[in-house]
Amino acid sequence: MTLLELPTELVLLIASSLPESALAHLLQVHRSLYKVLLPSLYQRHVRDNRLQLGLFWSVATGNEAAVNHFLHYGANVNACIGIIPIRRASISFQPWFSVQTPLSIAANIGNNMIVDLLLKHGANVDGFPSPGWGTTQPAVLDALLSGHESTVRLLLMHKSPIQKPNMELGGLVNCAIAKGEISLLKLLVEFGADLNIPWQGAYPLNRSVSSPKLSTEIVRFLLDNGADIGLTNGNPGILLDQAIHGTIGTLRLLLDRGVTYPPDRFEQWFETWVGRCTLETVHLFLEYGYAPNLETLSIVVRAQRGDILQLFIDRGVDLNMKGTRGLTLLHEAVLRCIPPEPPVRMVGRAAVCRRPGRENLVRKIEPVLQRVSPTCMNDNVEEDAPEKIVRCLVRGGADLNALDANGRTPLALAREFHLAIQQILIDGEGI
């Protein structure tokens, strides 16, 4: 009697003594055996495979029927797995977090049918502690970071959390900002997200204004939907401290909305950053009424920013103001030409919202491609030669005969320290 002719009871009895791999091969012998032995194969895997790998691979490959079978035969819908087995498997799935559940994988790939199936079988939408694995992140984070808006909506409809201190970046709002996805932010607001919940001392608005990779429209959306400048700007001017690390468009938007430093501190703030600002940023502050003082001009000279100096000259600044020791800007520029004194680079306060490293996140969150305006600062700004700064001041009308506290003119300093600069000043007398 062949195997196919045996009664079903005997076939099942034989199958019970076979290892899982042999049982899987036996299913492929004939259609009738497949129907008889398939339940046994699922039951065996659920019983013997501690990691429930079959369930995870079925979810990752989008095999809804197999997922349904595993759940029907008792697979743990809230099983956990680390990223090492996932990375070893030949499946095109990239996890976001170090601990994965079937629901987080389904959310990651945006398979709403499997997400719904898992939810009906009791999948936990919250992050939860799992012995031996640590605490999982809510699956809605996987959906959001992967850009699956419909999956995010589905999970939010099943009461997934929006914001919690132990969620990545404090919750979905900051993650959506990090991705630069306005459509996701709109969805979160639709479900009642609070745009004024701080995480690690910073509000969503703080984080959005300081990024050079985010569109100004992200900041505009936050402001238009309840982000409170009063809260985020509790420290006078902190938003400008952060926005100077972002884009021109965002800085202009904040200035349009009335964000500024107190008058007694604005001068000091601007002096901190002017040496690293782009020319367009300085244009913006001039547009909003800023008038540079002597200290600002001195910083520009010391930073060897001929472009900004020329802009100020074109705006009619007084080049012959005197500072300490009676030095004019031309005195300072001549002294800057004395070798081997290096140029001074301004390094100001870095009031940028930076996220501390998290062990749980295993992929870097990158913003989607979007239209971004130029940055406010350039750390690799090109310095002009000191001689060029001297020429710029001479052409702008700096007094070649101004006396410092020791009775020396710029020309006298040049004769003492730098003959090439002396010639520039002599030539300038004929201008």
Domain boundaries, the chain: 167-290+350-381, 293-343+383-431
Return d(Cα 163, Cα 109) in angstroms, integer.
Answer: 22
Q: Give the pLDDT band (50/70/90) at residue 6.
A: low
What is the rounded average pLDDT of the residues 306-320? 94
Q: What's the token pair of residue 368? A: 């989607």
Q: Is pLDDT of 30 > 60?
A: no
Q: Is pLDDT of 350 > 90?
A: no
CATH of domain 293-343+383-431: 1.25.40.20
Q: Give the pLDDT band (50/70/90) at residue 392.
A: very high
Q: Identical fold at 167-290+350-381 and 293-343+383-431?
A: yes
Q: Give the pLDDT band (50/70/90) at residue 348.
A: very low
Model pLDDT, residue 356: 47
What is the rounded average pLDDT of the residues 185-196? 97
Model pLDDT, residue 130: 83
Q: Give the pLDDT band (50/70/90) at residue 342.
A: very low
Model pLDDT, residue 138: 97
Model pLDDT, residue 431: 43
What is the rounded average pLDDT of the residues 311-316? 94
Q: Is pLDDT of 336 > 70?
A: yes
Tell me which of 232 and 283 has the higher pLDDT: 283
Element (H, E) at 100: strand 99-100
Q: What's the token pair of residue 305? A: 């920013």
- Range with the lowest mean pLDDT among 28-42, 73-87, 202-216? 28-42
Model pLDDT, residue 275: 85
Model pLDDT, residue 32: 60
What's the whole-number average pLDDT of the chain?
Answer: 85
Return d(Cα 46, Cα 116) in angstroms, integer.
Answer: 21
- Per-position DSSP letters for 268-310, written without gaps between them: HHHHHHTTTB-HHHHHHHHHTT----HHHHHHHHHTT-HHHHH
CATH architecture, domain defined by 167-290+350-381 = Alpha Horseshoe (1.25)
